[in-house]
Amino acid sequence: MASNMVICYAYYMSQRTSLILDPETKQAARQLALRYSCSTSEAIRRAVLHHRDVVFGVPAESRNERRKVLERLFKLFDGNDAGEEVGRLKSQDSGF
């Protein structure tokens, strides 16, 4: 399964576009790449997708997927006591 994802990623990433960036934009892209721990190209790709979502809104498919994940999280954590969990984790950390 993972090898298929790599092949698909490589195929779609082979569709190249060249950009000419001014120094300020180039520096901003590098800063994003450092923050995201990825290549400058990947940081630019993420920034373009994020800006598209800001301008046009998040696509319906992405909204539906996010909603499903959120509903699953609600079910997973239903009935959990956050205060109790924090206390348990602090007691585990006390030995370190």
* Per-residue model confidence as pLDDT tens digits over 16-59: 788 899 999 999 999 999 999 999 999 999 999 999 989 999 88
What global pTM score does this model have?
Answer: 0.54
Q: How far apart are CA 41 and CA 34, in angstroms?
A: 12
Among 53, 52, 51, 34, CA closest to 43: 34
Q: Note the Cα 55 to chain centre separation in Å.
A: 18
Digit-coded pLDDT (tens) for 75-91? 988 888 888 888 888 88
Rounded to 10 degrees, what is the CA torsion of 45, 33, 53, 1? 60
